[in-house]
Structure 1
Amino acid sequence: MKVKICGLTNLEDAQTAVAAGADYLGFIFYPPSKRSVDLKTAGTIVQSLRATPNCPILVGVFVNEAGERMAQILDEVRLDLAQLSGEEVPFLVGDARSPIYGRCYKALRPTSLAEAEADAEWYSVTGNQYSVISKQSPISTLQSPSLLIDTYHPTLRGGTGETGNWEMSAQLAQKIPGLMLAGGLTAENVAEAVRVVRPFAVDVASGVEASPGQKDPRLIRAFIQNAKYSLKNASLMD
């Protein structure tokens, strides 16, 4: 089970996540978010992380940003992947002419299974895109999520703390390899979410915070441990 700790704004929290075994770290480049980070701060954090031998996959989270600008930020900050959390067009994900082709995945906030299935057909990455070549990581081949499923909210772009529809996500996970689950996950409920959905990875931001943008080290460690051992425990009970 892979784990992404998202909404990081400082090096201490990032290092805590690395030490706890996080597989992905997320940096939000969307100023309206309470967890947004500026490029200079993110670059400083990433520089320190890249100097460690066990650096996770580093993800920039964007909302309706131009493809060229996202590619520029990935290179400038030395990030591996872009997460598209707005109303981005499928071209950016699936067309080889896209400036971030093979370096991104789409986050969806569906209101129904039918909507989720339709969007997944447009946005899910397959084949060579699922294993991407990173310009930044010492590990040249990285495993990218194919899609991220988050809780629907009419105005917010994630980080709501509201739990999503796990039954719907479970149906998607059966059809879509590489599905990352987000939305209202905490150290207390992530094991059950993994047992029900069986995703490729789980993503948390607000669920491991002391306050917006400031993580709680105890919650980070508990979340990662509970997520990574949940499938093993579930198999024993099946």
Structure 2
Amino acid sequence: MKIKICGIRNKMDLETCEKAGADLIGFINIERSKRRVETDQIKELTSTMMDKNKAVLVIEPANMVDANERIKKSGLNNIQLHSLSPDEIGEIKNNNSRLTVTRAIGISEMIDPAKKQEIEDFADVCDYLLFDYEIHGKTGGTGKQIPTDTAIEAALIAKSHNENIELFLAGGMNIERIKNEGNPLAKIFTFFDVNSGVEDEPGVKNSDKIQKLMKIKTL
């Protein structure tokens, strides 16, 4: 299994994640997020990384112009989007072949036909899909977990539509869930995306929790 630790806001937490062996490290530039960091700070933080390819810019742009500006300012090529349509994402990728794009898709307790279509549409144009718990149409920072059966159903929809798509599972992911369900879920999800599950408070990571999480990864 692979682990992405998201919501990094300072150099100490960044170094902890790198040394512990996190596979990806996320920096959130979304106005509504308690873990928001500005693009210039993200650029400064990532400039010190041992492997900048592990850095992920998390954004919710108003439009393609906004997205392109944030991507350019950050200097990152791994992008996690919480907005934009499949057509807009396709255009952004066509204009910048270096980008690796993950699209977050909100999932709650069940998947209706409209959500199934949404998953299939984004699976056509993205490199990765990230399933996160959705409340009132918004994803990220909810701390709530997608039911396991529902998460697997969403993953199978994506994989059956595009067998090459890779998947993240987010939404209240913590040490306990990964320890108890990690191995079976890792058969279909490439990454587990952890944020609040390794924090003392929003944006303040707990080194001991990160170390415990990464030990589970190697079991």
**1:186-201 superposed matches below 5 A:** 186-198=174-186, 199-201=189-191
- CA displacement at 1:24 relative to structure 2: 0.9
Paired amino acid for 1:47: S
CA distance in 1 between counterparts of 2:96 and 2:63 reads: 10
Question: What is the CA-CA distance between 1:119 and the residue it aligns to?
Answer: 1.3
Superposed counterparts of 1:127-142, under 5 Å:
130=127
Following the alignment from structure 2 to structure 1, what is the Cα–Cα distance between the partners of residues 62 and 141? 19
Q: Which residue of 1 aligns with 2:169?
A: 181
What is the CA distance between 1:215 and its match in structure 2? 0.5
What is the aligned partner in structure 1 of residue 17 from structure 2? 17
- In the TM superposition, what is the alpha-carbon distance from 1:81 to its structure 2 partner? 1.5
User: Paired residue for 1:47?
Assistant: 47
Give per-residue Cα distances to partners, 1:52-109, cap 9 Å, x unaligned: 2x445211111133223323332332212211113x2111333467546643121001
Q: Moved runs in structure 1, 4+ residues, more than 6 A? A: none
Q: Tell me the CA shift for residue 125 of structure 1.
A: 4.9
Aligned length: 208
Q: Over the residues paired in the alignment, what is the CA RMSD in angstroms?
A: 2.3
For residues 79 and 64 of structure 1, the distance between their equivalents in structure 2, rounded to whole angstroms, comes to 15
For 1:157 and 1:168, the matched residues in 2 are separated by 16
Partner of 1:168: 150
Residue 120 of structure 1 is matched in structure 2 by 119
Contact 1:7–1:27, Cα closer than 8 Å, also in 2: yes
2:72 is the counterpart of 1:94: no
Q: Given the two structures, how large is their TM-score scaled by the length of structure 2?
A: 0.84
Residues 96, 77 of structure 1: alpha-carbon distance in 2 compared, 3 angstrom cutoff? closer
Q: Are the counterparts in 1 of residues 77 and 100 from structure 2 also a CA contact under 8 Å?
A: yes
What is the TM-score normalised by the length of structure 1? 0.78
Distance 2:44 2:65 in 1: 22
C-alpha separation in 1, matches of 2:210 and 2:124: 29
* Alignment partner of 1:67 is 2:64: yes
**Identity across matched positions, percent:** 26
Instruction: Give ranges in structure 2 of 5+ residues lacking alignment.
Output: 160-164
Question: What is the Cα deviation at residue 207 of structure 1?
Answer: 1.0
Cα pair distance change 1:100/1:31, threshold 3 Å: farther
Distance 1:97 1:81, change over 3 A: closer
Counterpart Cα distance in 2 of 1:97 and 1:150: 23
